[in-house]
Structure 1
């Protein structure tokens, strides 16, 4: 009765026999084809393979995957199971490492992309916040005669200054830091990073950038453009390569080479700029921080007035403003200091101190001197009163033997330093007087008493053809200033 894939055995308890399915089969051994193959690979209890199980008729076999060797069976004995080949292990490690690197790269790429997008959004925000749209609109106006103002990107200026490296710093002051940079066209520029920006004055700031960038005045540092993509706008100027007037006056090696004619020309050029700001500009401007560190000199010792960071517009219907006192000790108008009342005569006083610096070679304020000599302006006026002028005049000037011209400049400086502002001359009057004295110096054989007014009318004027026009609350000009100070607000101001 035993059919296919069965085995027949004698009965254990008497006569007859019994049928059982062969090993690897199960079913009813008494039926035709009643025993069928068992798939040991599907039965966890029967499957003893570690890796790969292959079912065969009546049995199963084990094997190892590529890169492994062994019988593929569980057990852990010698030769049993699957052991990885050394070469394959290396491939796996390389693959895992590559996957990790790819994962990290993907994460980094996503992070960098997110950060870059965030930075772009910030730059767009600052660009709008700093008046970039207004500036762009004004530059695109069809009636503009020039489009000299350029809007620089942060990348351009970072590259120009080697990411604002310390070695690129050429000046630091109360209003910011100045870096020397080089643009791709090899143009050397000065880049000023201001410390603060007044958001309420953005429109005036943009107007000023527009106007100053279009001015080509030989005695004003030219503004080339700005960058508005960061919180505090950057301003880009032409680079003046010969330092400040302060350096040339107070460095013994340089001051000995600064002749009387050169000093007089520098004073005349500076006065001409201030005269223009006060009298000729469409809206008068008070510089408010005239000092020797804010007068730069080029290779030919031509004066370049800079650092308009404290300047103020004077509306056409006003002659004075009440402001927070701002300026530099030693140059500060005492009447302005006491009353907070800013007028054009405040610049006159500061310029008077610069004149005295040119005459004496002494610093405007020095605590190394005796108490009565600390303030150069007061010391000068005292010396003049006591007829000791030539005891304090720079030796190199005395040696040139131009005594009368020195006296006239000293008297002009005295008038500029008058305590009462209303008694001081205007910058226009100062500029005319300096031009007269300069013409006399150029005609060294003619004394001041021999030059009549008719002759003076026909003398050449070198600075009346190109002047600066500005607009807006000023925050421009770069400085090599050594001592910038912001004065506290006094009760008289508002």
Structure 2
């Protein structure tokens, strides 16, 4: 199955020698944030553009033009547990060649040679949302309107893979966190990391039994999925709801300030504050000020109706059971409503 997939993607193949040259044989100098499953490198990559054959002939042979990209290389690492890095790699490759959406990362190429399996995708000029949540001085440079647009872009992508694909297929991402939201040079959000995704054919139910041993963040995992193994679109909705809470609170879900109150992190603390009517006290204080005293850029304060609309849908997303959560279409509509309140 995998061989036939590769044979149809000859134009996207990038030679291992080109990657080794660009990374200086995978030097730590070029290494970016990774995890237990992959190492990431940001490099300037020169490689042949097989999609645009050249008309220049040299010694009777057609030469291919070289192209130049600043890229992110995702190198899949061998595993000692039950998870199969080959399956993870080909799952993500299949998703990226299937989806076409402005808010999903663009695949530039891939490499499968020997034991090496790598995906080459566009580099995000402004990094990942996670980088901002981990740095308060960076996070407070993101005014409320920008944060809303980040959420809306991501919601567009999730709504597309859940119910907007032309061939009626459906994809469940299965691993949404702030690390999967990349920000390009125009602050547009693009979702990446589809190695844990599940692709369902049109005639399949919108759920699947999919039990796995590894989660990038237990604080973003749908508790019903974790308990039953039933992965549904609503599982993505839950994880996205956690990201919404992170964005409005300005902190990661596993910050000590939340763990001191509950070992379940941000969601559990937020639920208690919703119940007590004190949720506004969790909002990032920089959103309530015209300027920040710590030297952040001046920005308009957040509109109260906008904040309330956002908080309400975030709370619905992290409902305990899957049947209580809204669809991504509903989430998207509410986020766009929050933006209208803000800009008007």
Sort the TM-score into its range (normalised by shorter chain).
0.7 to 0.9
Counterparts in 2 of 1:63-462, with a 5 A limit?
A: 131=3, 134-136=5-7, 138-139=8-9, 149-184=11-46, 185-196=67-78, 197=84, 207-208=94-95, 210-212=97-99, 215=100, 217-281=101-165, 282=167, 283-316=169-202, 317-325=204-212, 326-327=214-215, 328-367=217-256, 369-372=259-262, 375-399=265-289, 400-443=301-344
- Aligned-pair Cα RMSD in Å: 2.2
TM-score (norm 2): 0.81
TM-superposed CA distance for 1:306, in Å, is: 1.1
SS in 2 for 1:218: coil
SS in 2 for 1:228: strand
Correspondence for 1:12: none
Deviations 1:121-174 (A, max 9, x none): xxxxxxxx962x6423x247xxxxxxxx51011101111111110010012113
Correspondence for 1:100: none
Distance 1:388 1:201, change over 3 A: closer
Distance 1:219 1:134, change over 3 A: closer
Distance 1:360 1:435, change over 3 A: same
Give the conservation status (yes or no) of the 8 Å contact 2:136–2:250.
no
SS in 2 for 1:233: strand
Distance, in Å, in 1 between the alignment partners of 2:231 and 2:95 is 20
SS in 1 for 2:68: coil
Distance 1:209 1:358, change over 3 A: closer
Correspondence for 1:95: none
Distance 1:394 1:230, change over 3 A: same
Distance, in Å, in 2 between the alignment partners of 1:207 and 1:247 is 28
Deviations 1:288-328 (A, max 9, x none): 11111111112332212111121111232212111114532
Distance, in Å, in 2 between the alignment partners of 1:322 and 1:360 is 33
Deviations 1:201-249 (A, max 9, x none): 887666445435xx3x332111111111132411101111212111223
Distance, in Å, in 2 between the alignment partners of 1:363 and 1:287 is 20
TM-score (norm 1): 0.58
Distance 1:202 1:302, change over 3 A: closer
Give the conservation status (yes or no) of the 8 Å contact 1:154–1:230.
no
Higher CA-based Rg: 1
Distance, in Å, in 1 between the alignment partners of 2:92 and 2:134 is 34
SS in 1 for 2:33: strand
Q: Structure 1: which 5+ runs fail to align?
A: 1-128, 141-148, 444-494
Distance, in Å, in 2 between the alignment partners of 1:173 and 1:294 is 12
Distance, in Å, in 1 between the alignment partners of 2:28 and 2:330 is 43
SS in 2 for 1:419: coil
Give the conservation status (yes or no) of the 8 Å contact 1:221–1:306.
yes
Distance, in Å, in 2 between the alignment partners of 1:442 and 1:230 is 53
Distance, in Å, in 1 between the alignment partners of 2:137 and 2:149 is 20
SS in 1 for 2:273: helix
TM-superposed CA distance for 1:408, in Å, is: 1.3
SS in 2 for 1:187: strand
Give the conservation status (yes or no) of the 8 Å contact 1:287–1:312.
yes
Deviations 1:274-301 (A, max 9, x none): 0001001231111111111111112332
Distance, in Å, in 2 between the alignment partners of 1:362 and 1:200 is 33
Distance 1:296 1:401, change over 3 A: closer
TM-superposed CA distance for 1:199, in Å, is: 5.1
Distance 1:313 1:159, change over 3 A: same
Deviations 1:333-370 (A, max 9, x none): 01111111110000000000000001111221234641
TM-superposed CA distance for 1:373, in Å, is: 6.7
